[in-house]
Amino acid sequence: MTRPLAAAVALALLAGAAGAAPAPRMGITSFAQLKTPLPYPYDEKADASAAVATAKARARDHHKLLLIDLGGNWCPDCRILAGTMEEPELRAFVDAHYEVVTVDVGRFDKNLQIPAHYGIIRRLEGVPSVLVVDPATDRLVDAGHISALSDARHMSPQALADWLAQWTP
């Protein structure tokens, strides 16, 4: 990440959502409007550490934030998040601001070295848990908010877009 982008990320943290990029306006108002079947976004056989390292390098090279989506294919909230992120408006926004990597955490018993690397050593509070990382410093941008989407099905598509937008510079 370049110094100007790192500075913008720091300013966004200080300013909160007010300094963030505007969220895209979602074309759907309900998760019932998502394409079905909902995606199964987590590769249960992937080398999570290698996938995160590769995504972090791409994020750094492309001056984006790293978004680590921790979850499991058994989780309806995880699948709703994945389906919502495939909506054209949100997909374009996410592609412009984030490098996304999904990490299967099984039933909270796999790949826990990923959240532990970012200081999350207790059990994940829920999934999806979303880690937004500044790839230049390898620090969490959304510390204290990683489990905010673990009840995604009770949000709206727009609320998910707004949540993702709040971390962007």
pLDDT tens digits, one per residue of 44-81? 999 999 999 999 999 999 999 999 999 999 999 999 99
Q: How many structural domains is the chain composed of?
A: 1
State yes or no: pLDDT of 27 exceeds 60. Answer: yes
CATH number at residue 80: 3.40.30.10
Q: Which helix (H) or strand (E) holds 67?
A: strand 65-71
Rounded to two decimals, what is the model's pTM?
Answer: 0.88
Using the predicted structure, report yes or no on whether residue 147 has a pLDDT greater than 80: yes
**pLDDT at residue 10, as a whole number:** 39
The range of the structural domain enclosing residue 60 comes to 3-165
Q: Give residue 37's identity as a one-letter amino acid code.
A: P
Place of tokens 């989780």: 75
For residues 37 and 106, give the distance between their C-alpha atoms in angstroms, rounded to a whole number.
21
CB atoms within 10 A of CB 17: 14
**pLDDT band for position 145 (cuts 50, 70, 90):** very high
Residue 104: which H helix or E strand, with range? strand 98-104
